[in-house]
């Protein structure tokens, strides 16, 4: 497998491991919550760079979901359940993309509701602010920046 986009994947994993997300926004730190945060970050990533080369974005999309599939296999799911899980995750991802398409036109309450609706127990209204900041950070950099390096969380 070509690892050309490993830095993007690692950056998204880094962001989804942010302890503050779990301490402040969910009742517990579960694989499902981490995966949802990962998919939300990835959706914002694709939204920010959707005007870039479509082939590169498709390659990134394919790479990310291949890595997710490999991660799920490592957890121990069997071949039959992996296909179902991946279908569920891809459907979830596409529903997230649709919900955030007009992100900048929503007020903070609507933004919080969009993100909180993805979790069974989200308990904080600062998710909209967090993803606003993330969206601005994405827009202030180039796609090449994310391909070349792993981004670090800012404290």
**Is the Cα dihedral 19, 73, 98, 152 positive or negative?**
positive
Rounded to a whole number of angstroms, the CA Rg of the chain reads 15
Q: What are the residue ranges of helices labelled H in the chain?
A: 6-16, 19-25, 31-48, 54-75, 79-100, 108-116, 127-139, 143-148
pTM of the model as a whole: 0.89
Res. 1: pLDDT tops 60: no
pLDDT tens string 109-132: 999 889 888 876 656 667 888 899
pLDDT tens string 45-72: 999 999 998 999 999 999 999 999 998 8
Domain boundaries defined on the chain: 6-148
pLDDT at res. 45 = 96
**Percent helix, strand and coil across the chain, each to the nearest 5:** 70, 0, 25
């Amino acid at each position: 497998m070509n690892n050309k986009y490993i830095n993007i994947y690692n950056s998204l994993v880094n962001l989804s491991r942010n302890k503050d997300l779990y301490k402040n926004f969910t009742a517990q730190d579960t694989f499902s919550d981490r995966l949802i945060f990962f998919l939300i970050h990835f959706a914002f990533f694709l939204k920010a760079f959707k005007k870039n080369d479509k082939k590169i974005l498709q390659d990134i999309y394919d790479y990310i979901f291949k890595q997710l599939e490999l991660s799920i296999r490592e957890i121990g799911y069997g071949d039959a359940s992996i296909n179902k899980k991946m279908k569920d995750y891809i459907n979830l991802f596409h529903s997230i993309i649709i919900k955030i398409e007009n992100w900048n036109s929503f007020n903070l309450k609507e933004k919080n509701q969009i993100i909180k609706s993805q979790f069974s127990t989200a308990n904080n209204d600062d998710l909209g602010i967090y993803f606003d900041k993330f969206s601005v950070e994405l827009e202030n950099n180039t796609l090449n920046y994310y391909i070349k390096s792993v981004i670090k969380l800012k404290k």
